[in-house]
Amino acid sequence: ASCLPAAALNPEKGWACIDGCAAPGNKTTQLAAMVGKEGGVYAFDADAQRLKRLKENARTTGSDGIIRAKCQDFLTVDPEAETYASVRALLLDPSCSGSGTEVNRGDIMLRHALGDTGDGDDDDDDLDDERIDKLAAFQKSVVRHAFGFPEVERISYSTCSVHTKENEEVVRDVMDAAKRHGFRLAHALPKWHRRGIPIDGLSHAEAKCLIRADPIDD
């Protein structure tokens, strides 16, 4: 599933791209392989330790000559800067709740083995809702910031969350800004079987442009 965002973005050979929330770099190195030595990937992450891992991954995969890693919050990057004037595609995989990865987490497995589904604590549920709301607000700000890069033709947004609030609702809520900047939803990976979930304000046709991956079945 982690390979799907770059595949959906599908940058052409020689393109300059940005990975806005890059570390630890798995998607970044995938992008680098797609654009090749004729292109380039600007990789941003505000966490120096995580960026160090990205640089190590780039060296291991031989893509360190393609990836330009920068310890910087993507939201502080100037879209009008001359450095990024040729950027054609952006990959965005911002911080999320990680709810789609719970199936692989030992603490979750243990909790379920003990019969605790986590459904009985309203205080915990309220805290989760508050956290997801804050994450969704951040995610929307990241996508809206991406619209400002003048030569960008394609943007891929993804999370490892199962919540509509971090996925379909984010897409729905940024669409007005997207249209103002000349963007529209494209039908990502048309042969992929699992599509987005229709919600209020996001039609069935629009949801079909989106893809999902089930943490167990896919």
| Digit-coded pLDDT (tens) for 125-139 | 665 899 999 999 999
Given the residues 17, 71, 160, 209, select the one marked as catalytic.
160
d(Cα 19, Cα 158) in Å, to the nearest integer? 12
Model confidence, pTM: 0.88
Tell me: domain 4-207, CATH 3.40.50.150, correct? Answer: yes
82: left (phi over 0), alpha (psi -120 to 50) or beta: alpha
Mean pLDDT of 152-159: 98
Name 154's bridge partners. Answer: 89
Active site residue 17: no
Phi, psi of 155 (to 5 degrees): -135, 130
The pLDDT tens digits for 60-102 are 999 999 999 999 999 999 999 999 999 999 999 999 999 988 6
d(Cα 16, Cα 115) in Å, to the nearest integer? 50
* Binding-site residue positions for S-adenosyl-L-methionine: 21-27, 45, 73, 93
